[in-house]
Structure 1
Amino acid sequence: MAAINTTSASIPHWALNGTIYGSNDSFLLLNIFPADVADDLFYKLRDEIAWNEMRQKGGRVPRDISIQGTIEVKDGDEYEPLYRHPADEQPELIMWTPTALIIKERIEELIEQKLNHALIQYYRNGKDFIGEHSDKTLDVLLHSNIVNYSLGAARTMILKHKTQAGVKQRFKLPHNSLFILGWKTNREWLHSIKQDNRADMDKDADELAFSSQRISLTLRSIATFRNRRTGELHGQGARNKTLEEINRDQTMDTNDEQNMLMAFSAENKQSSEFDWDQQYGEGFNALNFKVLNSILIDEEEKTNDIKA
Structure 2
Amino acid sequence: MNDLFDDLPTPDVGWYPDWLTPARAEQFLAQLIGEVEWRQDTMGTPAGRVALPRLTAWQGDPNAVYVYSGIRNIPQPWTPAVAELKAAAEALCGAQFNSVLLNRYRSGSDSMGWHADREPELGPQPVIASVSLGAARTFDLRHNKSGVVQSFSLKSGSLLVMKGRTQAEWRHRVPKEPRVTGERINLTFRWVTPRAASRSCS
Measured against the shorter chain, the TM-score band is 0.7 to 0.9
Give the gaps of 5 or more residues in structure 1.
Answer: 6-20, 72-79, 199-206, 226-232, 242-282, 284-308
- Matches of residues 97-246 of structure 1 in structure 2 within 5 Å? 97-165=79-147, 167-198=148-179, 212-225=182-195, 233-235=196-198, 238=199, 240-241=200-201
Q: Which residue of 2 aligns with 1:81?
A: 64
- Any idea what the Cα deviations from partners look like across 1:225-247, whole Å, max 9, x if unmatched? 2xxxxxxx432xx5x32xxxxxx
Larger relative strand fraction: 2
Superposed displacement of residue 35, structure 1: 2.8
Percent same amino acid among aligned pairs?
26
CA RMSD of aligned residues (A): 2.2
- Any idea what the Cα deviations from partners look like across 1:186-216, whole Å, max 9, x if unmatched? 1111100111124xxxxxxxx55xxx10000
Superposed displacement of residue 112, structure 1: 1.0
TM-score (norm 2): 0.87
- Matches of residues 42-57 of structure 1 in structure 2 within 5 Å? 42-57=29-44
| Partner amino acid, structure 1, of 2:161 | I
Q: Which stretches of structure 1, 4 residues or more, deviate above 4 A after TM superposition?
A: none
Give the secondary structure class of the aligned counterpart of 2:126: coil
Partners of 1:126 and 1:93 lie apart in 2 by 27
Partners of 2:57 and 2:177 lie apart in 1 by 23
Give the secondary structure class of the aligned counterpart of 1:103: helix
Higher relative contact order at CA 8 Å, sep ≥6: structure 1 or structure 2? 2
Partners of 1:22 and 1:222 lie apart in 2 by 27
Partners of 2:50 and 2:178 lie apart in 1 by 21
Partners of 1:95 and 1:106 lie apart in 2 by 18
TM-score (norm 1): 0.58
After superposing the two structures, state which structure 1 stretch, 99-108 or 23-32, moved more: 23-32
Give the gaps of 5 or more residues in structure 2.
Answer: none
Partners of 1:127 and 1:90 lie apart in 2 by 25
Taking a change above 3 Å as real, the CA distance of residues 40 and 23 of structure 1, as seen in their structure-2 partners, is same
- Any idea what the Cα deviations from partners look like across 1:99-138, whole Å, max 9, x if unmatched? 1111101111111111000011100000000000111231
